[in-house]
A and B are shown apart, each in its own frame.
Chain A
């Protein structure tokens, strides 16, 4: 059981004993490593669950809101003063008066200016235009008595949800006793309903939480991403192809490569400052437009697309290039017919992930002014717009209780988009993936 004298090596028996001892030690450290890994994964899943639970418990109620159903007589003379049922005529009509009268009737016609004002404060300020839009959509109902749902004011909504307590002294409450009494009356008459918010997806930015929606921001995001994709994808793929397939491997391309990798790590707000300095201040493009936002996001996304495209191109076996060149395909034919097609899934995956990144980006858009309060839905890339994450950022800043819920609801929409895009990337990759030999 000792060293064999002549060779200086361990005897087999001694070696076996030592191996057994070290085996135990190795086993222990492997187990330790495994437990650490399991702990880390458990922790991250826990945080993910907490995150989603938090967002959904706040956000799902944010997708619903309270409505009052009122019987309104669509008096032709008052709704349509010019009598031609045109949009201009209807918008100049007295929809507000009709709504208010219907509300007062529903409340049993209270007397006095104070009572009337309390009654009016129940309805959202967007009620008049809602009635006008309803009439525009159903012109045949003019002159009839129709039941229309109107959103309640955000304070009333918070009250219905129990965020504003009756026990609080009237002077500290955002709504007075008289209003509460009216709300109770409407509630007892079952005129108040809790429904999926149609303002969330069809409304645009508004100071009034109950009629604020993400439509404008969503369209703005789509325009911005469209510009971003149109610029970043061709540019990124072309760069990757050039660097991988055509450029000579020298110091210059090495420097370019290092800089592209560095660019991927540049904070996004820096791209925003650059966009502000170059596109807006030097080129004189307007602020707040999706065109500039898209260009800035494209610059930010480019490194991601280039890096993933290069990896995809590198994954194409060189033997395929040899085969194509060997039967006389030119360099361009080899690249177009044999390198890009099999690399496409990888390129698209990188692009979609880059797009998802761009979709969630706020800081660069703030720098170029896409944080403005824009009520109109943008109709093109040169119209002022805001983007979904920026809308969330703005709503999160508002004090009204209902905005907090709308913020969470918008976050759910954003997350849904991101998850859809990432899932799309995975499906695309699985579907287009080719197996070599």
Chain B
């Protein structure tokens, strides 16, 4: 059990059942990112309450839970996307490979190159497919010349399983692709800057089942190389793609464990109620 999880904030939750301590194993042997006692406030409102959790190397961890449980907020802490929200304030510590991501010495730009993000709605730039992928490497100076850049673009698209579909129309706008292709383009764009971790915020919620299947397939392929944190509302998706699952409720991390165990033998009653569809 987590030693670091100590005490709770004086917050008047309507749901008294929320545990003070997380059930299950929050630590892993070879963590890529570690969150320790992370709390996030929007102004005075507590959105994430004292969460401690590891993200392992080469694993897919799924964040599940009802709307407003803080899973997306926590996800956005991992690459400091919450910095863009004025009223958002984070407490606690998040490390990547042992480096504190909130350390003033760490440039948020380099952090986001290490921790890529894929959003809920496919959001390609209104530019050509090529430029969509090439933008990241360009601003980070990853390619020494145009040949190298071409190679990065091709590799990234290949990795995202999109190369064969778009190789003949790289100069067409990224927005001309179908929704599923756009989302894979966004994944390729994130891969292109060579991240260690990819954060996915409900990446399939705007996609049809076939496109969803393709993205899930892609996630399974990418897990070899990257740590993937995926927020999802779909229990089946979490069960299909993730190695570990973390269940959040009202800002608290209620339970975390092997996906198989969470879905077959949940320990906490809230987890059980949620995954069996009794609420949420």
Contact = CB atoms under 8 A, between A and B. Distances in A.
B86 A249 contact: yes
B125 A325 contact: no
Contact of A323 (B111, B125, B193): B125
Scoring A324, A327, A437 by chain B CB atoms within 10 A of each residue's CB, the highest score goes to A327
B114 to A, nearest CB: 8
B101 interface: no
B119 A326 contact: yes
Scoring B86, B113, B139, B192 by chain A CB atoms within 10 A of each residue's CB, the highest score goes to B139
Interface in A296-349: 317, 319-330, 333, 337-338, 342
Contacts of A333: 139
A435 interface: yes
A320 B175 contact: no
A366 to B, nearest CB: 46
Contacts of A319: 119, 121, 123
A325 B136 CA distance: 10
A327 B126 contact: no
Interface string B83-115: 010100000000000000000000001111100
Nearest to B133: A327
B227 interface: no
A289 B90 CA distance: 57
A249 B189 CA distance: 31
B190 interface: yes
B84 A248 contact: no
Contact of A326 (B140, B175, B190): B190
Interface string A208-224: 00000000000000000
A85 B86 CA distance: 76
Bin the interface of chain B by size: 20 to 34
Interface string A415-437: 00000000000000000001111
B149 interface: no
B131 to A, nearest CB: 10
Interface string B117-143: 111011111100000000110011000
Given A248-B86, A337-B135, A435-B175, A327 B190 contact: yes
Given A248-B86, A249-B86, A436-B175, A327 B121 contact: no
B186 interface: yes
A322 B117 CA distance: 9
Contacts of A322: 81, 84, 117, 119, 123
A434 B126 contact: yes
Interface in A333-382: 333, 337-338, 342
B242 interface: no
B116 interface: yes
Scoring A319, A322, A434 by chain B CB atoms within 10 A of each residue's CB, the highest score goes to A322
B162 to A, nearest CB: 16
A326 B123 CA distance: 11
Nearest to A333: B139
Contacts of B125: 320, 323-324, 338
Contacts of A328: 109-113, 136, 139-140, 193
B169 to A, nearest CB: 18
A432 to B, nearest CB: 11
B139 A326 contact: no
B175 A323 contact: no
Contacts of B192: 327
A249 B126 CA distance: 28
Contacts of A329: 109, 135, 139
A323 B186 contact: yes
A437 to B, nearest CB: 6
A317 B123 contact: yes
B109 A326 contact: no
Contact of A327 (B86, B112, B122, B175): B112
A320 B123 contact: yes
Interface string B139-160: 1100000000000000000000
Contact of B81 (A249, A326, A434): A326
B57 interface: no
Contacts of A325: 81, 84, 112
Given A436-B126, A436-B175, A327 B116 contact: yes
B193 A327 contact: yes
A379 B95 CA distance: 65
Interface in B175-210: 175, 182, 186, 189-190, 192-193
A433 to B, nearest CB: 11
Contact of B117 (A248, A249, A326, A338): A326
A434 B119 CA distance: 21
B79 interface: yes
A398 B118 CA distance: 70
A323 B201 CA distance: 12
B250 to A, nearest CB: 25
Given A319-B119, A323-B125, A328-B113, 13 more contacts: A319-B121, A322-B123, A323-B186, A326-B116, A326-B118, A326-B119, A327-B112, A327-B190, A328-B140, A328-B193, A329-B139, A338-B125, A342-B126
27 contacts: A248-B86, A249-B86, A319-B121, A319-B123, A321-B84, A322-B84, A323-B124, A323-B189, A324-B135, A325-B84, A326-B81, A326-B118, A326-B190, A327-B116, A327-B136, A327-B139, A327-B190, A328-B109, A328-B110, A328-B112, A328-B113, A328-B139, A330-B139, A435-B175, A436-B126, A437-B121, A437-B182
Q: 10 shortest A-B CB distances, which residue pairs?
A: A328-B112, A319-B123, A326-B117, A328-B113, A327-B136, A323-B123, A328-B109, A434-B126, A330-B109, A329-B139
